[in-house]
């Protein structure tokens, strides 16, 4: 080793300083060239998109492509919805539309858009994740009121998925804090869905403890002490419960729970608790990107059409609760419509306040794990 290094040093000295520098800068240039090329490449495609956008205003091109960045459990819903929207858009504008779908954890998806994943529309699990895009300057303020029902075309709620026959006799929230009951739910710090779970449990505790915060915190603490696996996302928790057979009860989105039942009708059943939370997934046009790509019109229609009767029925078929009350009532066989639902704005003062109080660092969720 030592000898080799010496040789290297000799070689170093021998090289004429100027020549060495020239070579060095040359290689740096060579290395940088493809980068520069990449840069200009990117801007050309940007320009192309711009011209495309401009021509869309004059005379529409034959086809258009939009990207919908969504969260995990909407996969099946949007697969079906994109088909009916394609037909609708063709009739309306004569254009063929291609929709690129992207699914993942809601927070992760929001971050990917923030970091450069070019989404024309986002359909995420939490209003807060969309708000993060607003903070990042990609979505214009006031998006919550851009579409009906606070931009939530479909809603869901949190229910219990238990093993067939309900061996632990789980009926309501107070049954799952009992010692010996193993609960599976994702981590509210990493999963949008899990925040709804937490808040639904909190709502139950508040109702039963007469809004005593200390008692509710104790209740939540007992609940999370029963959690044996805290997955990072909702799909992960479902896998842990369904495939790896962990735990007695899974706190699940209603639509996810129905999907599990559909797949394994003999293994599971759904238990609806006495009180739960109205989970309102949010949709929004990513203004900056849609503007840049000239897809504003189709993006807006894409989300607007989610409120059409046809799309609302489709949401119901995919076990989401339609936000149109008439269509929701058609699904009274599927959903327990008498379930008492609290909601984030009226009962928790909006997401910002709820996050501050429950999920921020060293807030209530962190406290319940402290010894």
Considering only the stretches 90-98, 152-160, 324-332, 362-370, report the one whose residues sit in contact with another protein under the rule CB under 8 A.
362-370
The 150-189 site mask, x for binding another protein (CB under 8 A), equals -------------------------------------x-x
Considering only the stretches 68-76, 207-215, 231-239, 318-326, report the one whose residues sit in contact with another protein under the rule CB under 8 A.
231-239
CB atoms within 10 A of CB 86: 15
- Tokens for 15, please give them: 């090289």
Instruction: Specify the residue, 243 or 346, whose C-beta has the smaller distance to another protein.
Output: 243
Query: What element of type H or E holds 186?
Result: none
Work out how close the CB of 237 gets to another protein at its nearest, in angstroms, rounded to a whole number: 10
Contact 248, 170 (CB under 8 A): yes
The 236-255 site mask, x for binding another protein (CB under 8 A), equals x--x---xxxx---------
- Tokens for 98, please give them: 């291609």
Position 229 contacts another protein (CB under 8 A):
yes
Q: Out of 60, 75, 103, 108, which residue is the one contacting another protein (CB under 8 A)?
A: 108
In degrees, to the nearest 5, what angle opens at C-alpha 216 toward C-alphas 211 and 219?
Answer: 150
Q: Out of 25, 55, 330, 332, which residue is the one contacting another protein (CB under 8 A)?
A: 25
Work out how close the CB of 264 gets to another protein at its nearest, in angstroms, rounded to a whole number: 14
Contact 283, 153 (CB under 8 A): yes
Instruction: Specify the residue, 85 or 351, whose C-beta has the smaller distance to another protein.
Output: 351
Instruction: Specify the residue, 333 or 371, whose C-beta has the smaller distance to another protein.
Output: 371
Query: Shortest CA distance to 322 belongs to which of 351, 280, 350?
Result: 280
Residues 199-218 interacting with another protein (rule: CB under 8 A): none
Position 364 contacts another protein (CB under 8 A):
no
Work out how close the CB of 236 gets to another protein at its nearest, in angstroms, rounded to a whole number: 7
How many alpha carbons lie under 13 Å from residue 8 in its C-beta half-sphere?
Answer: 5
Position 362 contacts another protein (CB under 8 A):
yes
CB atoms within 10 A of CB 7: 9
Q: Out of 127, 175, 231, 287, which residue is the one contacting another protein (CB under 8 A)?
A: 231
Distances, alpha carbon 111 to alpha carbons 73, 104, 133, 135, 299, in Å: 18, 11, 8, 12, 20
**d(C-alpha 244, C-alpha 21), whole Å:** 60
Instruction: Specify the residue, 11 or 325, whose C-beta has the smaller distance to another protein.
Output: 11
**d(C-alpha 178, C-alpha 198), whole Å:** 17
Work out how close the CB of 302 gets to another protein at its nearest, in angstroms, rounded to a whole number: 26
Q: Out of 41, 211, 228, 332, which residue is the one contacting another protein (CB under 8 A)?
A: 228
List, in order, residues 6 or more apart from 195 with CB less than 8 Å away.
126, 188, 354, 358, 359
Give alpha helix (H) positions in the chain: 2-14, 17-58, 75-93, 106-114, 127-135, 148-151, 173-176, 192-208, 213-225, 234-242, 254-263, 287-293, 296-304, 309-317, 325-329, 344-348, 350-354, 364-369
Q: Out of 121, 138, 227, 311, which residue is the one contacting another protein (CB under 8 A)?
A: 227
Position 367 contacts another protein (CB under 8 A):
no
**d(C-alpha 174, C-alpha 177), whole Å:** 6
Considering only the stretches 76-84, 87-95, 292-300, 356-364, report the one whose residues sit in contact with another protein under the rule CB under 8 A.
356-364
Work out how close the CB of 33 gets to another protein at its nearest, in angstroms, rounded to a whole number: 11
Position 264 contacts another protein (CB under 8 A):
no
Write out the residues near another protein by the rule CB under 8 A. Answer: 7-8, 10-12, 14-15, 19-20, 22-28, 30-32, 35, 105, 107-108, 111, 132, 187, 189-191, 227-232, 236, 239, 243-246, 359-362, 366, 369-371
């Amino acid at each position: 080793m030592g000898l080799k290094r010496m040789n290297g040093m000799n070689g170093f000295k021998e090289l004429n300083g100027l020549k060495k520098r020239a070579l060095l800068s040359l290689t740096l240039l060579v290395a940088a060239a493809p980068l520069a090329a990449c840069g200009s490449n990117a801007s050309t495609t940007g320009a192309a998109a711009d011209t495309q956008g401009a021509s869309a205003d004059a005379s529409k091109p034959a086809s258009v492509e939009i990207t919908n960045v969504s969260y995990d459990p909407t996969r099946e819903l949007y697969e079906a919805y994109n088909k009916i929207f394609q037909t609708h858009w063709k009739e309306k504008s004569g254009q063929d539309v291609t929709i690129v779908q992207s699914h993942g954890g809601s927070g992760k998806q929001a971050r990917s858009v923030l970091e450069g994943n070019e989404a024309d529309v986002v359909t995420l699990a939490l209003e807060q994740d969309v708000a993060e895009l607003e903070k990042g300057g990609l979505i214009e303020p006031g998006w919550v009121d851009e579409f009906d029902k606070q931009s939530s075309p479909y809603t869901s709620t949190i229910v219990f998925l238990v093993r067939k026959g309900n061996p632990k006799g789980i009926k309501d929230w107070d049954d799952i804090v009992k010692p010996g009951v193993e609960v599976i739910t994702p981590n509210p710090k990493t999963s949008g869905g899990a925040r709804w779970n937490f808040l639904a449990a909190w709502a139950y505790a508040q109702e039963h403890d007469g809004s005593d915060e200390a008692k509710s915190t104790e209740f939540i603490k007992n609940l999370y002490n029963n959690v044996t696996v805290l997955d990072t996302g909702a799909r992960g928790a479902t896998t842990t419960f369904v495939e790896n057979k962990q735990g007695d009860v899974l706190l699940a989105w209603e639509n996810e729970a129905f999907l599990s039942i559909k797949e394994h009708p003999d293994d599971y059943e759904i238990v609806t608790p006495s009180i739960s939370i109205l989970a309102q997934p949010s949709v929004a046009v990513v203004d900056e990107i849609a503007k840049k790509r000239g897809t504003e019109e189709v993006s807006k229609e894409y989300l607007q059409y989610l409120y059409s009767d046809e799309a609302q029925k489709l949401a119901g078929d995919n076990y989401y609760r339609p936000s149109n009350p008439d269509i929701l009532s058609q699904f009274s066989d599927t959903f327990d419509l008498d379930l008492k639902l609290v909601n984030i704005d009226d009962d928790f003062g909006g997401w910002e306040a709820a996050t501050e109080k429950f999920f921020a660092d060293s807030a209530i969720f962190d406290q319940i794990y402290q010894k």
